[in-house]
Amino acid sequence: MRQSHQLPLVGLLLFSLIPSQLCEICEVSKENYFRLQPLISTMISSKYTRGIQASNVLLSLRLVGIQKQDTEQRLIQQIEENVKSRSSDLTSGQVALIILALGECQNPDERFIYDNNLVSQLETKFQAEVENMGAHNCTPLTNYYQLSLDVLALCLFNGNYSIRQVAELFNPENKNYYFSGQFSVDTGAMAVLALTCVERKGQIETDGEYLNHIKKHKKSLVKKILSEKKENGLIGNKFSTGEAMQALFVSSEYYNKNEWNCQQTLDTVFKEISQGAFSIPIAAAQILPALVGKTYLDINKDSPCVSDPDFNSPTPKPTSERYTNSPSNILVHYSVKINRTYSTNVAVLNGSVFLNVMEAAREKNETIFRFTVEESSWGPYITSVQGLKANNNDRTYWQLLSEGKPLSQGVGSYVVHDGENLEVRWSTY
């Protein structure tokens, strides 16, 4: 078994000093916490009952110091039931998120991690990812975002991993950082967080060569992340910006201050919040920590949970339902593109999402427009159309488009508009 990387006393003291020495952090002032209430309301009041979303939300709430006992107990119950009912089916990244959420700060439910050997399970699942890469042209069972979560959780919770292996796997030129030829900002950002943890816990005497590789990887990834910064301050898109901010917080030694205007990013995110951009729990959970200057590296399993009184005073009002109550119908054009294109016009209720359009098309022609769907932490996603299944080893998937442009929202969250041209396209990444 590989050596567990644990810090000696001197290393621990140095580790505790690193954030204040290296991190460049901007955050919303306490006077502006009211601007975060829509996110908190979405996380606490929305009716989310599916799988791994509970882990994302619990982790975010604990990280920023929001303590709502009834909400926590409901989330913990969902997480534990999910583990007990489908432990062998959980992906490596899902197990990693469960460990991070249940293990954040000292609490009674962290015993669940150890009673169910979740860290050992994660070690096994992570190695299965690596083995699949060896057998299938460097393609993991899941994706590099999940592999980064794996390494982060193993690093923070003293699991076994090889620094050499991490240095080799996370080379910035690896194809797994790209999706349809586009650099994935959230994947790169999560890799930076994982590599930072590994770097901090490494020992120069024994791991110096690989730690140097890791530093070079981080520098390159930070450059790629900043290259995706938009004129309005968003990095990648609004959903990847939160994790990109976390990565930049812990990597300020790799870029100049004039390369990123954090206040501009905050202002644009606040505007997006006011327009309801983060209306599903996982989107709210992933943006919130960075807005208050927190990163996943702030997870502290050795100290009691700390409540922030500025977050725990008023109870947020329930969020509005995704679907509107308007009885009017809209007409949209829907296509499936494989080797040829199959199209139809369908009428759906105003306020419907992409999935409703696909369902309406299927009712018109089961043969041409049949599809299957599965739940993920970001909601439902399309696994097959006309019986043609997405395959991770072949890097194939079903891409969602509007007016010929890829969508950044999922099939269950993108609200369609009258006269819109929608398409699902068989694609590779």
On whether residue 164 sits in a domain, the answer given is yes
Do residues 201 and 7 make contact, with C-beta atoms less than 8 angstroms apart? Answer: yes
Q: Residue 237, annotated ligand binder?
A: yes
On whether residue 381 sits in a domain, the answer given is yes
- Alpha-helical segments (H) within 316-421: 354-364, 366-369
Confidence class of residue 178 from pLDDT cuts 50, 70 and 90? very high
Rounded to an integer, what distance in angstroms lies between the CA atom of residue 406 and that of residue 399? 7
Token code pair at residue 6: 């644990």
On whether residue 318 sits in a domain, the answer given is no
Rounded to an integer, what distance in angstroms lies between the CA atom of residue 249 and that of residue 339? 45
Rounded to an integer, what distance in angstroms lies between the CA atom of residue 87 and that of residue 55? 14
Same domain, yes or no, for 151 and 17?
A: yes
Q: Residue 145, annotated ligand binder?
A: yes
On whether residue 308 sits in a domain, the answer given is no
pLDDT in tens, 291-335: 999 999 999 888 888 777 777 654 444 443 343 444 588 999 999
Q: Which tops the pLDDT comparison, 13 or 69?
A: 69
CATH of the domain at 362: 2.170.130.30
Q: Residue 429, annotated ligand binder?
A: yes
Same domain, yes or no, for 354 and 290?
A: no
Q: Is the pLDDT of residue 18 over 90?
A: no
Same domain, yes or no, for 334 and 413?
A: yes
Q: Residue 22, annotated ligand binder?
A: no
Give me the DSSP letters along 200-264. Answer: HH--HHHHHHHHHHHHHHHHHHHHHHHHTB-TTS-BSSTTTHHHHHHHHHTTGGGS-GGG--HHH
Averaged pLDDT of the chain = 87
Q: Is the pLDDT of residue 128 over 50?
A: yes
Residues 6+ positions from 405 with CB-CB distance below 8 Å: none
Q: Residue 146, annotated ligand binder?
A: yes
Rounded to an integer, what distance in angstroms lies between the CA atom of residue 92 and that of residue 87? 11
Entry field: residues in the chain: 429
Range 120-141 burial, b when 16+ CB lie within 10 A, else e: ebbbebbbebbebbeeeeebbb
Same domain, yes or no, for 139 and 199?
A: yes
Confidence class of residue 10 from pLDDT cuts 50, 70 and 90? very low
342 conformational bin, left if phi > 0, alpha if psi -120 to 50, beta if neither: beta
Q: Residue 258, annotated ligand binder?
A: no
404 conformational bin, left if phi > 0, alpha if psi -120 to 50, beta if neither: left
With a threshold of 0.75, does the pTM exceed it?
yes
Q: Residue 295, annotated ligand binder?
A: no
Q: Residue 349, annotated ligand binder?
A: no
Window from 16-20, 176-180, 357-361, 418-422 with minimum mean pLDDT: 16-20
CATH of the domain at 134: 1.50.10.20
On whether residue 322 sits in a domain, the answer given is no
On whether residue 219 sits in a domain, the answer given is yes
Residue 86 Cα distances to 48, 94, 118, angstroms: 18, 11, 13
Count of CB atoms within 10 A of residue 364's CB? 12
On whether residue 277 sits in a domain, the answer given is yes
Q: What number is the average pLDDT over the span 246-260?
A: 95
Instruction: Please identify, among 298, 314, 345, the residue that sits at the C-terminal boundary of a domain.
Output: 298
Same domain, yes or no, for 118 and 208?
A: yes
Same domain, yes or no, for 358 and 414?
A: yes
Do residues 99 and 122 make contact, with C-beta atoms less than 8 angstroms apart? Answer: yes
Q: Residue 398, annotated ligand binder?
A: yes
In this prediction, residue 89 carries a pLDDT of: 86
Q: Residue 143, annotated ligand binder?
A: yes
Q: Number of folded domains in the chain? A: 2
Q: Which tops the pLDDT comparison, 106 or 346?
A: 346
Rounded to an integer, what distance in angstroms lies between the CA atom of residue 149 and that of residue 183? 18
Same domain, yes or no, for 241 and 375?
A: no
Same domain, yes or no, for 251 and 344?
A: no
Q: Residue 109, annotated ligand binder?
A: no
Same domain, yes or no, for 259 and 167?
A: yes
Residue 413 Cα distances to 41, 48, 120, 330, 393, angstroms: 17, 13, 35, 17, 27
Same domain, yes or no, for 86 and 126?
A: yes
Q: Which residues pair with 179 in a beta bridge?
A: 182
On whether residue 424 sits in a domain, the answer given is yes
Q: Which domain holds residue 138?
A: 9-298
